[in-house]
A and B are shown apart, each in its own frame.
Chain A
Amino acid sequence: MHHSSPGQLMPEPSRRSLLRGVGGAALLAGAGIPLLSACGGSGSASDPKTVSLGSNASDAVPKKAFGDVYAAFQKQSGITVKVNTKDHNTFQEQINSYLQGTPDDVFNWFAGYRMQFFAAKKLASPIDDVWAKIGDNFPDAMKKLSKGEDGKYYFVPLTTYPWAVFYRKSVFQQHGYQVPTTWDQLIALCKQMKKDGLVPIAFGDKDAWPAMGTFDQINFRLNGYDFHVQLMAGKASWTDAKVKAVFDHWAELLPYHQDGFMGRTWQDAAQTVVAKKAGMYLLGTFVAQQFTNKADLDDLDFFAFPEINSAYGQDTVEAPTDGFMVSKAPKNHDGVVKLMQYLGSPAAEELYLKGDPSVVAASSKADTSAYSPLQKKAFEMIGGAKSLTQFMDRDSRPDFTSTVMQPGLQKFLQNPKGVDSLLSSIERQKKTIFASS
Chain B
Amino acid sequence: MSTDTDMKSPEAAAVPPPGPAQEKKRVPKGHKRLLTRRDRIALAFMAGVPTVLHVALVWVTALASIALAFTTWDGIGFDTIKWVGLDNFRQLFTDNPQFWPAVQHNIIWFVVLILIPTPFGLFLAVQLDKKIRFSRVYQTAFFLPVVVSLAVTGFVWQLVYNPDTGLINSLIGANKPGHYIDWIGDPHLNLWAVLIAASWRHAGYMMILYLAGLKGVDPSLREASSLDGANEWQTFKNVVFPTLRPTNTVVLVVTIIEALRAFDLVFVFNKGAQGTELLSILITNNIIGESSRIGYGSAIAVVLLVISLAVIIPYLIATFRKERQA
Contact = CB atoms under 8 A, between A and B. Distances in A.
A261 B184 CA distance: 10
Interface string B278-303: 00000001101111110100000000
Contact of B291 (A96, A264, A414, A428): A96
Given A92-B290, A258-B177, A433-B293, A1 B95 contact: no
User: How many B residues are at the interface, by size bracket?
Assistant: 35 or more
A93 interface: yes
Contact of B184 (A262, A271, A436): A262
Contact of B163 (A264, A398, A437): A264
Contacts of B40: none
A291 interface: no
B97 A425 contact: yes
Interface in B189-237: 190
Contacts of A429: 91, 95-96
Contact of B292 (A205, A208, A259, A399): A399
A281 to B, nearest CB: 14
A397 B291 contact: yes
A398 B291 contact: yes
A394 to B, nearest CB: 11
Contacts of A437: 72, 74, 80, 82
B178 A414 contact: no
Interface in B18-71: none
Interface string A340-356: 00000000000000000
A212 B293 CA distance: 21
Contacts of B121: none
B135 to A, nearest CB: 39
A68 interface: no
A206 B184 contact: yes
B246 interface: no
B186 to A, nearest CB: 7
Contacts of B154: none
Contacts of A117: 290-291
A359 to B, nearest CB: 22
B293 A403 contact: yes
B270 A100 contact: no
A386 interface: no
B258 interface: no
Nearest to B176: A259
Interface string A94-114: 011100100000000000001
Given A206-B185, A407-B97, A414-B187, A398 B75 contact: no
B290 A403 contact: no
Interface residues of A, number: 44
Contacts of A425: 95, 97
A2 interface: yes
Contacts of A262: 182, 184-186, 270, 273-274
Contacts of B181: 260
A432 interface: yes
Contact of A414 (B76, B183, B274): B274
B79 A2 contact: yes
Given A263-B161, A399-B291, A407 B182 contact: no
A315 interface: no
A199 B177 contact: yes
A259 B180 contact: yes
Nearest to A425: B97
A436 B177 CA distance: 45
A214 to B, nearest CB: 16
A428 B162 CA distance: 35
A417 interface: no
B285 A402 contact: yes
Interface in A384-401: 397-399
Nearest to B293: A399
Interface in B218-274: 270-271, 273-274
Given A121-B76, A402-B285, A259 B91 contact: no
For A263, A399, A425, A436, the residue with the greatest tally of chain B CB atoms inside 10 Å of its CB is A263
A272 B176 CA distance: 11
Contact of A93 (B72, B175, B183, B289): B289
Contacts of A93: 288-290
A103 to B, nearest CB: 13
A208 B273 contact: yes
15 contacts: A2-B77, A2-B79, A95-B290, A100-B76, A258-B177, A260-B164, A260-B182, A262-B273, A263-B162, A264-B164, A268-B165, A271-B164, A408-B97, A425-B97, A432-B95
Interface of B: 72, 74-77, 79-80, 82, 87, 91, 95-98, 161-165, 175, 177-178, 180-187, 190, 270-271, 273-274, 277, 285-286, 288-293, 295
Question: Which 6 residue pairs are nearest across A and B when measured between Cβ atoms?
Answer: A262-B185, A263-B184, A260-B180, A263-B185, A260-B163, A436-B72
Interface of A: 1-2, 92-93, 95-97, 100, 114, 117, 121, 123, 199, 205-208, 258-264, 268, 271-272, 397-399, 402-403, 407-408, 410-411, 414, 425, 428-429, 432-433, 436-437
